[in-house]
Amino acid sequence: MDDSITLIATALVALAAGYFLHRISARQDHAAHRSSLPGIHNADIETWVQHKRTIDAMRRLRQRDGLGLKNAKDQVDTMAIGLHPTAKVADDTARAR
């Protein structure tokens, strides 16, 4: 009886480990594919940021790099600060009032 329980538990652990290893491998393959999408370059994303089209810039970053929404927004905000350093300071000052 104990041997059969041990055998079943071992099989379940092996099955779960195989499943998670497959999922991790599939994610890495998918991320590598997305990061190699042709036609989306940083210059394109910076152009969208310059024209205040942040949602388009975030969408393209997410497609190209596989970023989450928060990470894409942070990266676009960082680009905006680099391209328009005084615009971000003015936004923060207006919010503080």
The CA distance from 9 to 96, in Å, is: 58
By the 8 A CB rule, do 72 and 49 touch? Answer: no
Average pLDDT over residues 51-64: 91
Q: What is the pLDDT of residues 11-27, one digit of tens each?
A: 888 888 888 777 777 66
Check: pTM over 0.85? Answer yes or no.
no
Average pLDDT over residues 33-62: 81
Which residues form the domain of 52? Answer: 39-97
Say whether both 43 and 21 belong to one domain. no
Say whether both 32 and 54 belong to one domain. no
Q: What is the pLDDT of residues 74-96, one digit of tens each?
A: 999 998 888 765 555 555 555 55
Classify burial at 72, counting beta carbons within 10 Å of its beta carbon; exposed 0-12, middle 13-18, buried 19 or more: buried
With 90 as the cut, is the pLDDT of residue 56 above it? yes
Say whether both 25 and 48 belong to one domain. no
Say whether both 5 and 21 belong to one domain. yes
Say whether both 28 and 64 belong to one domain. no
Say whether both 73 and 87 belong to one domain. yes
